[in-house]
């Protein structure tokens, strides 16, 4: 029994989902002719299913690709057709099928853009897990673009807005964040936050742990940042790269869910509380503005936080209106 080459095409189109109703009818009639046809179709289907490295969502012109493969086979082997053992025939068909799949795969690789994912944060904090295990928390309206699979020597993603990164450690494949304004951050494995202002004029990078290299587009020599360090590059200013070597990590509270203070001036404490809880706090005693305050990581409601602050520094707390608080008196400890 000799398998007509036309049915190789029909089987391939059926496997890829590109077969027409008329072709489906013709293929069904051929399958009904012999159990051998059904067995061959089943074996070819298994070969197709096991070729997991190929993308089976095929949109290339299969008819053209098949004709090109047939022409090459005839040029290299012009001998007349003859009956061959079943095993050799299966190998011949499988080889032809493999050539066809390879041709379509190459077509897609070199003519179509690499598949990628674009995620835009819809909530205050949205978790995205990348193919390498890296976890990214997008802040609302932030956007991250990354490939379906990382390939090559680097792991690159594109960021707009604000995000917090927990990068999977892989020294052989550095992780690079390309930002919408041309700045970039390069890491091997760490936890850090990145914020690009809506106008793309300012970039902030703050490191919780590990080490990162921050390279603004206008200052590519960049700087290496370690834990609890923050760098800011503002294009609206003097285009200088400013570094805070003892930064508060409270800018990351939107991701971690809590605040912490270590000998932090009271005015900065209040600023952080206002930003995190979205309230207004008035410090009536100006003398207390520079008073240092220390508190462990807390996720308590604002009322409990102010109660603790009052106990520590002898404040009297009032609540003149919803979302508004006043701190009266106070003693610097």
State pLDDT tens for residues 216-254: 988 888 999 998 899 999 888 778 889 988 787 777 777
Give the end of a domain, one of 250, 280, 315: 250
Would you say residue 317 has pLDDT above 90? Answer: yes
121 and 240 assigned to the same domain: yes
Give the CA radius of gyration of the chain. 32
Q: What is the pTM of this model?
A: 0.51
126 and 233 assigned to the same domain: yes
When pLDDT is averaged across residues 89-112 and rounded to a whole number, the result is: 52
DSSP 268-284: HHHHHHHHHHT-EEEE-
48 and 23 assigned to the same domain: yes
Cα torsion 82, 83, 88, 90 to 10°: value is 100
Pairing of strands 202-209, 191-196: antiparallel
pLDDT recorded at residue 96 = 56
Gap between the Cα atoms of 93 and 66, Å rounded = 12
165 and 102 assigned to the same domain: no
Give the end of a domain, one of 196, 222, 250: 250
Q: Which of 12-21, 99-108, 288-297, 302-311 has the lowest mean pLDDT?
A: 99-108
DSSP 250: G
Would you say residue 145 has pLDDT above 90? Answer: yes
Q: For residue range 37-86, what is the model confidence (pLDDT) as tens digits? A: 777 777 677 666 655 434 444 444 545 555 554 565 455 444 444 444 54
Percent of the chain scoring above 90 in pLDDT: 30
Q: Is 127 left (phi over 0), alpha (psi -120 to 50) or beta?
A: beta
92, two tokens: 């011949």
CATH of the domain at 168: 2.60.120.1440
Q: How many CA atoms lie within 13 A of 146 on its CB side?
A: 24
pLDDT recorded at residue 44 = 73
Q: Of residues 5 and 212, which shows the higher confidence score?
A: 212
Q: What is the mean pLDDT of the chain?
A: 78
132 and 77 assigned to the same domain: no
CATH of the domain at 273: 3.55.50.30
Gap between the Cα atoms of 23 and 13, Å rounded = 9
Cβ partners under 8 Å of residue 36, min gap 6 = 1, 86
CB neighbours (10 Å) of residue 314? 12
Q: Would you place residue 108 in the very low, low, confident or very high pLDDT band (cuts 50, 70, 90)?
A: very low
When pLDDT is averaged across residues 100-104 and rounded to a whole number, the result is: 52
Pairing of strands 280-283, 324-329: parallel
pLDDT recorded at residue 2 = 39
140 and 41 assigned to the same domain: no
Looking at 3-85, list the stretches that DSSP marks H as alpha helix, in order from N- to C-terminal side.
Answer: 5-16, 21-33, 35-50, 62-76
85 and 104 assigned to the same domain: yes
Q: How many domains does the chain have?
A: 3
Is the Cβ–Cβ distance between 193 and 164 less than 8 Å? yes
For the chain, how are helix, strand and coil distributed in percent, rounded to 5? 35, 30, 35
Gap between the Cα atoms of 242 and 255, Å rounded = 24
227 and 321 assigned to the same domain: no
When pLDDT is averaged across residues 1-26 and rounded to a whole number, the result is: 70
203 and 273 assigned to the same domain: no
State whether the Cα torsion 303-304-305-306 is positive or negative: positive
285 and 210 assigned to the same domain: no
CB neighbours (10 Å) of residue 77? 8
Q: For residue range 262-314, what is the model confidence (pLDDT) as tens digits? A: 778 898 888 888 887 889 999 999 899 999 888 876 778 889 889 889 888 99
pLDDT recorded at residue 247 = 80
Give the end of a domain, one of 111, 130, 161: 111
107 and 14 assigned to the same domain: yes
For residue 156, list its beta bridge partners: 176
157 and 281 assigned to the same domain: no
Q: For residue range 190-225, what is the model confidence (pLDDT) as tens digits? A: 889 898 888 888 899 999 889 999 999 888 889 999
Crossing angle, helix 5-16 and helix 35-50, to 10 degrees?
50
For 178, the domain range is 116-250
Gap between the Cα atoms of 279 and 321, Å rounded = 10
Looking at 77-208, list the stretches that DSSP marks H as alpha helix, in order from N- to C-terminal side.
Answer: 86-111
């Amino acid at each position: 029994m000799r398998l007509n080459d036309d049915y190789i095409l029909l089987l391939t189109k059926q496997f890829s989902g590109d077969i027409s109703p008329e072709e489906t009818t013709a293929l069904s009639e051929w399958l009904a002719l012999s159990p051998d046809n059904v067995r061959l179709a089943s074996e070819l289907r298994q070969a197709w299913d096991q070729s997991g490295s190929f993308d089976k969502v095929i949109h290339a012109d299969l008819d053209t690709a098949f004709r090109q493969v047939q022409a090459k086979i005839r040029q290299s082997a012009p001998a007349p057709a003859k009956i061959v053992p079943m095993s050799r025939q299966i190998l011949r068909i499988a080889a032809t099928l493999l050539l066809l799949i390879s041709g379509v795969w190459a077509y897609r690789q070199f003519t179509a853009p690499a598949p990628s994912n674009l995620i835009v944060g819809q909530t205050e904090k949205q978790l995205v897990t990348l193919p390498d295990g890296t976890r990214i928390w997008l802040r609302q309206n932030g956007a991250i673009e990354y490939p379906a699979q990382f390939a090559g020597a680097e792991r690159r993603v594109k960021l707009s807005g604000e995000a917090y990164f927990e990068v999977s450690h892989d020294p052989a494949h550095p992780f690079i964040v390309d930002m919408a304004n041309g700045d970039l951050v390069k890491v091997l494995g760490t936890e850090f936050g990145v914020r690009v202002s809506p106008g793309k004029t300012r970039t902030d990078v703050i490191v919780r742990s590990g080490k990162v290299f921050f390279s603004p587009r206008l200052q590519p020599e960049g700087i290496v940042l370690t834990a609890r360090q923050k760098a800011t590059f503002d294009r609206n200013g003097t285009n200088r790269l400013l570094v805070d070597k003892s930064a508060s990590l409270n800018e990351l509270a939107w991701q971690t869910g809590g605040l912490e203070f270590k000998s932090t001036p009271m005015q900065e404490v209040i600023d952080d509380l206002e930003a995190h809880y979205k309230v207004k706090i008035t410090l009536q005693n100006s003398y207390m503005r520079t008073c240092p305050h220390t508190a462990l990581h807390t996720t308590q409601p604002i009322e409990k936080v102010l109660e603790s602050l009052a106990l520590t520094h002898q404040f009297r707390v009032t609540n003149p209106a919803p979302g508004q608080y006043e701190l009266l008196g106070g003693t610097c400890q």
